[in-house]
Amino acid sequence: MGEVVLLSGAGIRIDRKALPPLYPVQNVDLSVRIGDRTALVGESGCGKSLTARLLTGLLPPNAVLDRGSATLLGEFDLGEEFPDEVRGSRVAMIFQDPVSVLDPMAGIGVQIGRALAAAGVAKAERRGAAVDLLGSLHIPDPEEVARKYPHQLSGGMCQRVAIAMALAPKPDLLIADEPTTSLDVTTEVQVLDLLEEYLDSSGASLILISHDLNVVDRLAESVTVMYAGQSVEHGPIADILSEPAHPYSRDLVRSSVLNRGEAAHSIAGTLPSIENVTRTCPYRVRCSEARSACSDTSLGQVPSSDGFVRCLFPLKKMPGAAGGEPV
C-alpha cells in the first residue's frame, strides 16, 4: 500500500457567504505508513481537527481541499469524493466529545451492534460480539452496560464505548482527536492503555491529535508540530522533546507541563488570522529568533533523514540534511 496517509502541501479553504474565504489549513505535509504511531500537536485553532476531518471525509460542507494533494490508504484521492465505504471500517475516528458520537435514543449494545454490522458481523452474533468487545476493553459488567443508554453512563464510560465502536471493525488507521481531553487523569490512563493494546495487537496505524505532549509522548513515536495551518516540524518524538529544531516546537515544549522542573512559560501573542494565505513564516511575530529575512522570504523546508523543519534559521542542523538550507 505504501503510505496509509500522504499529505503533500495540503491546504483547506472554507467558503463563506458574502465574506472572503478562510484558509485554516495552508500547508501540511504528513506521511503515515502501516503501523506508524504519529501525532499532530499545536495550540488550539492551528488546524489539527480540520486535517483529521479531511482524512475521514468529515469536512464541513463548505470546506474543500484547496491546494496540495491528499491520498488515503494508497489509493483514494481526497481531493475527490470521499470513499464512504472506508470510513468506520478501514479508517476510524475517535472524538474528544464521546457524547456527540453516541445516539441518545439507542442502547449501547444496539449501537455497538450497528458498528459490527458495518464490519460485516452477522446479525445473530452482534449482541454477543458487542458484549465481548466491551469486556475486552475492561469494562466491568459488560452485559449490564450493553443494556444501558448513554445518559446512564459517565463521560469516561461513554468514551470507552465510543472507542469500542471505533475499534469494532478493526480499522487499519485510527485517528484519535483529543481522545482524553474531557476525561479525568485516571480514566485518561485507562483509555490510553486501551488504545495501546489495540495498536499492539492489530498493527494498525495511529494519528493522535493532542495539545498535550504528555499524552503524545505516551503513545506516539513521531510527531508533526503544526502552527497556523502549517506543519512546521516533523521528527521522532524523543528528538522534538529534547532538541527541537523549530522555535515554535521549542516554545511549545517549554510551555508544556512536561517541563515540571523548569517554570513553564506560555507563548506570548496569538495565532495569525486565517483570512489570508501566509507565504512568509507565520510564527515571526512571536518568534524570539526572528531576523529581518523572516519577514520577506518565502518559507521552505529543511528535510532531514527522519523529518523536516520549516524555518529559515533552525535551532539545530537537521540530521542527514543536505546543506542545511531551506529548499
Residue 247 touches which member of ligand ADP, Mg ion, ligand SF4, none, C-beta under 5-8 Å by kind: ligand SF4
Q: Which of residues 242-271 bind ligand SF4 (CB under 6 A)?
A: 246-247
Instruction: Among 137, 139, 216, 311, indicate the residue that binds ligand SF4 (CB under 6 A).
Output: 311
Q: Is 24 in the site for ligand ADP (CB under 6 A)?
A: yes
The answer to whether residues 159 and 165 touch, using CB atoms and an 8 Å cutoff, is: no
Residues comprising the chain, all counted: 327
Instruction: Among 72, 312, 318, 321, indicate the residue that binds ligand SF4 (CB under 6 A).
Output: 312
Q: Which stretch binds ligand ADP (CB under 6 A): 47-55, 85-93, 105-113, 132-140?
A: 47-55
The answer to whether residues 236 and 222 touch, using CB atoms and an 8 Å cutoff, is: yes
The answer to whether residues 279 and 298 touch, using CB atoms and an 8 Å cutoff, is: yes
Assigned C-alpha cell, 191? 483509555
Q: How far apart are CA 245 and CA 283, in angstroms?
A: 14
Site string for ligand ADP, 54-73 (x = CB under 6 A): ------x-------------
Q: Is 49 in the site for ligand ADP (CB under 6 A)?
A: yes
| Type of residue at 287 | C
Q: What is the largest CA-CA distance in the chain?
A: 69
Instruction: Among 22, 176, 207, 223, indicate the residue that binds ligand ADP (CB under 6 A).
Output: 22
The answer to whether residues 182 and 154 touch, using CB atoms and an 8 Å cutoff, is: no
Residue 316: Cβ-neighbour burial (10 angstroms; 0-12, 13-18, 19+): middle
The answer to whether residues 165 and 112 touch, using CB atoms and an 8 Å cutoff, is: yes
Assigned C-alpha cell, 105? 435514543
* 192/225 with CB nearer ligand SF4: 225
DSSP letters, 54-70, are: HHHT---TTEEEEEEEE
Q: Report which of 115, 107, 96, 79 is spatially closest to residue 6, judged by C-alpha positions.
A: 79
Q: Which stretch binds Mg ion (CB under 5 A): 15-23, 43-51, 236-244, 285-293?
A: 43-51
Q: Which stretch binds ligand ADP (CB under 6 A): 45-53, 69-77, 135-143, 246-254?
A: 45-53
Residue 258 touches which member of Mg ion, ligand ADP, ligand SF4, none, C-beta under 5-8 Å by kind: none
Residue with CB nearest Mg ion? 49
CB of 263 to ligand SF4, least distance (A): 22
CB of 136 to ligand SF4, least distance (A): 45
CB of 32 to ligand SF4, least distance (A): 25
The answer to whether residues 11 and 25 touch, using CB atoms and an 8 Å cutoff, is: yes
Q: How far apart are CA 196 and CA 193, in angstroms?
A: 5
Residue 185, SS3 per DSSP:
helix
Instruction: Among 26, 27, 38, 49, indicate the residue that binds Mg ion (CB under 5 A).
Output: 49
Question: What residues make contact with Mg ion under the rule CB under 5 A?
Answer: 49
Question: What residues make contact with ligand SF4 under the rule CB under 6 A?
Answer: 246-247, 281, 283-284, 287, 289-290, 294, 311-313
Question: What residues make contact with ligand ADP under the rule CB under 6 A?
Answer: 14, 22, 24, 44-50, 60, 274
